[in-house]
Every structure is written in C-alpha cells, then in structure tokens.
Amino acid sequence: MTVPDSRRSAAMSRFHLFTVLGVVAVPAFGWFARHWSGATTLAVYWFENVVLCLFVLARIALHRRWAPKYGHFRYRAPQSGGSSDQSFLGGFALVSLAFCAVHGIFLGAVLGLLAHNRALEVLDLDWRSVGWGCACVLLFLTLDFLLDLIDLRRWSFRAVEQAANVGVGRIMVVHLTLLIGFAGIAATDAPSTLFGVFVVLKSLAALSAVVPQWEPERPPRWLSSLLNRMPNVHPSERFEDFWVQDQERERDRQRRNERPWRKAI
C-alpha cells in the first residue's frame, strides 16, 4: 500500500524533529543531568560539528550527482554580484572544515586557560562520557542523514543550500560562544556559567533549524514607517521599494542556481 505524499511528508517531518531533538538532548542531558564537565561537553559538541559538516558535504555531493543544478558548479551566493565559478561543494567544505579546525584550536585554548585558572571541576574530561555522548550524537545524525536520502534526489538546490546554511550557523554559535567565553573566564571566577549559557545557545541554534522561516513578500508596516523617517542616500525611494527589489534579486538568484546543469562539451 502506498502512503499518500502528505502523510509521508508529515511522518518524515516528525522523524526529522525527533532526530534534531535527540542531537540537542544528548549534551544538554549530560551537562544538566549527568553533571558532565565543560571539557566533556565541549568535546561532544566539537564531534557533533565535525560529523554534521561531513553529512552536509555528503548531501551536497550526492545531490550534485543525482540532480545536478547550476548552483552546484557556478554558485551565486546571497548579496553577491555577477556570476561565479565557485563550486558550492568546495566552498562549503573550505568554510566548514576550516571553522571546525579553528574550533578545535579554540577548544584547546579554553581548556588551557581553565587549567591556568585551576578550574578543575570544568576541566575533568571523562572519556567514557565523551564516547557515550559521541556515539549517541552519531546515531541521531546518521538517522537524520538516512532519512534525507529517501527524497534527496527530489530536493531543490535551495533545500540543499538551506541545509548547508543551518550547518554553518550551528558552527558559528560554537565559535561566538568560545570567543565571548575568553572574556567571561578572565573576568569571573565562575567558568561553569559559561558552559551553561553555551549549552542553552547551542540547543536553541539547533532547534531553529526546524522552525519555519518567515519570509514576507513586503516588509512589516511599522518597520517601513520607521525606516522611511530615517535619512538615506536615495531620498526619493522608500524602504518598501528596496525590500521588493531585494526580494526580486533573491528570486532571480535562486532561479539561476536551480537551472539544470548542462556541462559544456
């Protein structure tokens, strides 16, 4: 018996939500309920970022092979100018893996700073908990990847691009928290507070991936009214006009990236 598309889509959405919640819950449960140290929690988060990037790269590579689009080979990013010869796969690999490498360096620096401040309760690295946490995260991310493989051939390039953006966004939350953490550790005697905030921010960033994004055709009236009162370099143009033009440029960009790829002979 064939499951109707709507019911199948709803079931897959629920399962996808389950895997995202699972990835979020593992380190959060470890930190708040199992009293993991900051070092243990950060190690699991770093592993999550690396595996997430590798799975996104696998999605991009498979989609490029199964449903080649112009954006895979001549990617035009948001707010970019003319055409680009950049490979979407290569660009994402360079950015994401470089950030993961820098994340590892920051992780070592944070732990070194904590060691200098003798924050032993945060430094206690429990390798057994790290192994358990990484195994659970890998399980949920693998299930999420296998679920996407069912319909990956039918994905639009925009869907692949959004999956990549979600991965980069979650990595950036880690880096921003670590950067702010340097100042927090230096200014306070409560480094564990940093990791509590870190866990909350990282969890919210992951959950944002399953929240529908609001993309109105026209700006909110209150925003237009506010910005139209502000001086600008084009006094005769309204904010609504800029908004509509920007939306049209974005639609043109997406249409260009979605064009079927025909390799020149």
Q: What is the DSSP string of 66-99?
A: HS-BHHHHS---TT--S-----HHHHHHHHHHHH
118 within domain boundaries: yes
Q: What is the mean pLDDT of the chain?
A: 80
Percent of the chain with pLDDT over 90: 33
Q: Closest Cα partner for 144 from 14, 37, 49?
A: 14
169 within domain boundaries: yes
- The larger pLDDT score, comparing residue 102 to residue 183, is at 102
156 within domain boundaries: yes
127 within domain boundaries: yes
260 within domain boundaries: no
> Residue 265 above 50 pLDDT?
no
Residues spanned by the domain of 28:
5-213
- The larger pLDDT score, comparing residue 181 to residue 196, is at 196
Q: What is the pLDDT of residue 194?
A: 63
Q: What is the pLDDT of residue 118?
A: 59
The most confident of 119-128, 137-146, 186-195, by mean pLDDT: 137-146
> pTM of the predicted model, to two decimals?
0.82
For tokens 């005697």, the residue is 189
Q: Tell me the per-residue pLDDT of 114-123, one tens digit each, with 9 for 90 and over.
A: 666 655 555 6
18 within domain boundaries: yes
Residue 195 neighbours by CB under 8 Å, 6+ apart: 31, 38, 41, 42, 122
Q: Tell me the per-residue pLDDT of 152-172, one tens digit each, with 9 for 90 and over.
A: 999 999 999 999 988 888 777
Count the domains in the chain: 1
243 within domain boundaries: no
Q: What is the distance between the alpha carbons of residues 8 and 232, in angstroms, rounded to a whole number?
A: 50
15 within domain boundaries: yes
> Residue 191 above 50 pLDDT?
yes
- The larger pLDDT score, comparing residue 159 to residue 35, is at 159
Q: What is the pLDDT of residue 252?
A: 92
> Residue 42 above 90 pLDDT?
no
Per-residue pLDDT band for 1 (boundaries 50, 70, 90) equals very low
> Residue 102 above 80 pLDDT?
yes
